[in-house]
Amino acid sequence: MSTILEKIAAIESEMARTQKNKATSAHLGLLKAKLAKLRRELISPKGGGGGTGEAGFEVAKTGDARVGFVGFPSVGKSTLLSNLAGVYSEVAAYEFTTLTTVPGCIKYKGAKIQLLDLPGIIEGAKDGKGRGRQVIAVARTCNLIFMVLDCLKPLGHKKLLEHELEGFGIRLNKKPPNIYYKRKDKGGINLNSMVPQSELDTDLVKTILSEYKIHNADITLRYDATSDDLIDVIEGNRIYIPCIYLLNKIDQISIEELDVIYKIPHCVPISAHHHWNFDDLLELMWEYLRLVRIYTKPKGQLPDYSSPVVLHNERTSIEDFCNKLHRSIAKEFKYALVWGSSVKHQPQKVGIEHILNDEDVVQIVKKV
C-alpha cells in the first residue's frame, strides 16, 4: 500500500511544481488521470480476497433517508446527535471519543430519518490514516452529509474535509457532469463540443483517455468542462451528495461574526450544546433531502395522514409508490384515484405512469 501512497505523493508534488498554462495542460491532464487511477486502487485494491471488515462501522439502513455527520474530532458531532435524536453517544473533552458509527433516528414531517455519528476524520484520511477510509466509505452511503465545523477554528478545515471526501470520489453540492461518454470497438476518438471549451481540446482528451487505455470512444461535451469532469465521467464511481455545513459553538462568538457566517452558502450556524437554531437546520435538511410524502386512502375511509409513504423526489410515479408499499401491488394494479396538486380534478383517475406531487392522497384500485 505504501508504494501507492508514495506514487500519489510524487504525482501531487509534481502537480504543485508544474505551472498552469496552455503548454502544460496536456501534462497536467495526464497526471490528474494517473492520480484518479491510483486513488481508485486505494479505495478498492486489485484482486485478493475480501479483507476482514472491521466490526462496528457499517450500520443497517433504516428509515426513509440517511444523514451522516462528518467532521474533525471534537467539533460536537456526538453532542448534536444526542440532542437531536435523544441517543446517547459518548461525549468527552478529548479527541476521538467516538470510535465506531453511532446511529440515531428522528421523525420529521412524517418521515423517519436515520442520523449517523461517524468518528472524526483527520488529514490524510483518504489515504487510510486514522480509520478514515472506513468512515468515508459509510459517508458514501448517505443521502445527505452534515459537515460539522467548529466556528472558532479556521475555515481552512472546511477545505481540508472537502479535499478528503473528494479524494474518495464524493462530490459535495455538485451535479454530475453533463458529458456524454460511450466506449466503442473501433473508429477512434470522436469528440464533439456543443459550446466553446476553455480547457479541453482533442489532444488533451486523447491524452487522458490513453492513460485509461481507451482508444475508441464517443464524447460529447455539453458545457465548458474541465479535465477533472472528464476523469469523473470515465471513472464512473463518483457519488454526488448534497452537503450542509454546520458551524457549531456559535454561543462563543459575537453577533457581528454570526452575521458574516450566515452569508456562507449551504451553511447553518448552530449550537449543539444549547439547542440553538435546530429548527432552521431541520428545515434546510428537509429541503436538501427532497423527499415527497404521499398519503394512502383506503376505500370508504378518510386518508391516513399519520404515516405517509415517503418517496425520493426523482422517483415519484404511481409505480414507485406501489413498489414502496409491496412488490405485488404493481402487478395487480388497475387504476388509481388521486387527490392533490398533481391532478386537475379531485379525485382524478390515473394510470401507473402518473407522477405524484408532495402531499397527494392516493387510493389504488386492483384488478378483480
Segment 218-240, tens digit of pLDDT: 999 998 888 888 888 888 888 89
Query: For position 363, what pLDDT does the model report?
Result: 92
Residue ranges of domains in the chain = 4-43+177-235, 65-173+239-288, 291-366
**Which element (helix H / strand E) includes 77?**
helix 77-85
Query: For position 246, what pLDDT does the model report?
Result: 87
Counting as low any pLDDT under 50, the low residues of the chain are 48-54, 56
Please state, in angstroms and rounded to a whole number, the distance separating the CA atoms of residues 365 and 336. 6
Please state, in angstroms and rounded to a whole number, the distance separating the CA atoms of residues 77 and 9. 31
Query: For position 305, what pLDDT does the model report?
Result: 87
Query: For position 338, what pLDDT does the model report?
Result: 93
E-state strands within the chain: 65-70, 102-108, 111-117, 144-150, 170-172, 179-183, 189-193, 217-221, 239-241, 243-248, 267-269, 291-296, 304-312, 333-339, 348-350, 360-366
Query: For position 52, what pLDDT does the model report?
Result: 47
Query: For position 49, what pLDDT does the model report?
Result: 46
Answer CATH for 291-366 from 3.10.20.30, 3.40.50.2300, 1.10.1530.10, 3.40.50.1000: 3.10.20.30
Query: For position 11, what pLDDT does the model report?
Result: 87
pLDDT for 192-203, tens place per residue?
A: 889 888 888 888
CATH 3.40.50.300 for the 65-173+239-288 domain, yes or no = yes
Query: For position 249, what pLDDT does the model report?
Result: 83
Task: Give 225: exposed, middle or buried? Use CB within 10 Å, 0-12, 13-18, 19+.
Answer: buried
- 111-117 and 102-108 strand pairing: antiparallel
Query: For position 50, what pLDDT does the model report?
Result: 47
Q: Which three cell numbers stand for residue 63?
A: 428509515
